[in-house]
Amino acid sequence: MPKTPLKTNRILKGVRYEIRGELAARAVELERQGYEVISLNIGNPGLFGYRTPETMRLAMIENLGQSEAYCHQKGIFPAREAVVMQQQQRGVMDVTADDVFMGNGVSECIDLALRALLNNKDEVLVPSPDYPLWSASIALNQGIPVYYNCLPENGFQPDPDEIRSLITPRTRAIVLINPNNPTGAVYSRELLEEIARIAEQSQIVVFSDEIYDEMLYGDAKHIPMATLVHETLCATFNGLSKVYRACGYRVGWIAFSGDRVNAKQYLHAVELLASLRLCANVPGQWAVQTALGGYQSIRELTSNGGRLFQARQAIIDGVSKSKFMSLCKPNGAMYAFPAIDNTLFEAFDDQRFAMELLEKQHVLIAPGSSFNVPYRNHFRLTTLPTGRKMQTVFERMEAVLETLQIA
């Protein structure tokens, strides 16, 4: 009897996560063959020698004896209270520990928040370019991502008038990623205030992804969205992965603020879902209080002369020397999103370029189209390598672009 191929869930047709897709799989094959691949596709500080602050590691070790049982579904109290204290220091005064949910990374928090909210074909406004986990999670929870443009010619800033025009009776929420992944854009107070008023007028939930809140360069300033949203529900997402270089700890959280009175049923649904997964990783939660309340070493890395600052500058310098590239300078996060001049190529394609770069020069980047944009002449690379390593990367990219131009 012939066998029928095992079918997958149809909902996966709307799911993309090419950051760990075909290119990453090919990179693994090359490494198994003995090649050294410079992997710039994922913001994973530990792979580049960045260490989690020692005080955080000690906090985990000292509390391992208290980490063997399930904790409360929202997380351990010291971690949640530390998030409350941070929010209050930033001017969000009405948050309590009951408003904070700890998760296995921000990724799980995003899924919990969307699953509790969305019904079939509900819409969520998402930036383009976006971090593709947001679009994927919306699709997995039967929603529809509706993209508002953050155009390169506008410095990757959103247009409030376009956001307003996209709202329909089906719109349930808007996603903001600030500082932005993949572009490094940081939004002004005036822009965020206008978006906050739009959300309040339409009574949609604000999902503010602020995982890179302390990764800022020059005069850039991060404005917490929760300080601006009062008349609708605001969910702030954050965690230990990036600023505190603790990706493997898998500790993230949601802090709910704003109008929680009219969101009681929704918040109960989030807690129900949190209860079903029993609890988040307990050992990692013990690092939260030390992380948020301790010395903020990230500022050494992002200030003038710091390692992240130098790598960012190496990207800026590499683009300025290139015959083929341009760049909106990233003011935050750990990424840059350069553009290739289409007019210099017969038919430039970001996927082809990324594969050529990997095969010929053993550098792994993320094609710009992976981030749900309609154009195919951008790519994302992380700013985690040393400045010297980044210089090597740009030399290799220039060599590949030379061959593609000739072809």
Residues 286 and 312 reside in one and the same domain: no
**pLDDT of 206 strictly over 90:** yes
pLDDT band at 9 (very low <50, low <70, confident <90, very high): confident
Residues 177 and 90 reside in one and the same domain: yes
Average pLDDT, the chain: 94
Q: In the numeric block, which tokens belong to residue 207?
A: 């999902």
pLDDT single digits (tens) 132-188: 999 999 999 999 999 999 999 999 999 999 999 999 999 999 999 999 999 999 999
Count the helices and strands in the chain (H runs, E runs): 13, 14
pLDDT single digits (tens) 50-80: 999 999 999 999 999 999 999 999 999 999 9
**pLDDT of 407 strictly over 70:** no
pTM: 0.94
Q: Could you check whether the bond before residue 129 is cis, i.e. omega within 30 degrees of 0?
A: yes
pLDDT band at 347 (very low <50, low <70, confident <90, very high): confident
Residue 16: what pLDDT?
66
Look at residues 274, 293, 312 and tell me which one is the last residue of a structural domain.
293
Strands 38-39 and 363-364, sheet pairing: parallel
Structural domain includes residue 47? no
pLDDT band at 406 (very low <50, low <70, confident <90, very high): low
Residue 143: what pLDDT?
96
**pLDDT of 17 strictly over 80:** no
Give me the torsion for CA of 137, 143, 144, 147, rounded to 10°. -50
Residues 156 and 197 reside in one and the same domain: yes
Q: What is the CATH number for 101?
A: 3.40.640.10
Domain residues for the domain of 132 are: 54-293
- Could you give the CA distance from residue 275 to residue 124 in angstroms, rounded to a whole number? 25
| % of the chain with per-residue pLDDT over 90 | 90
Average confidence (pLDDT) over 261-273: 96
pLDDT band at 346 (very low <50, low <70, confident <90, very high): confident
Residues 72 and 185 reside in one and the same domain: yes
Structural domain includes residue 6? no
Domain count, the chain: 2
Structural domain includes residue 230? yes
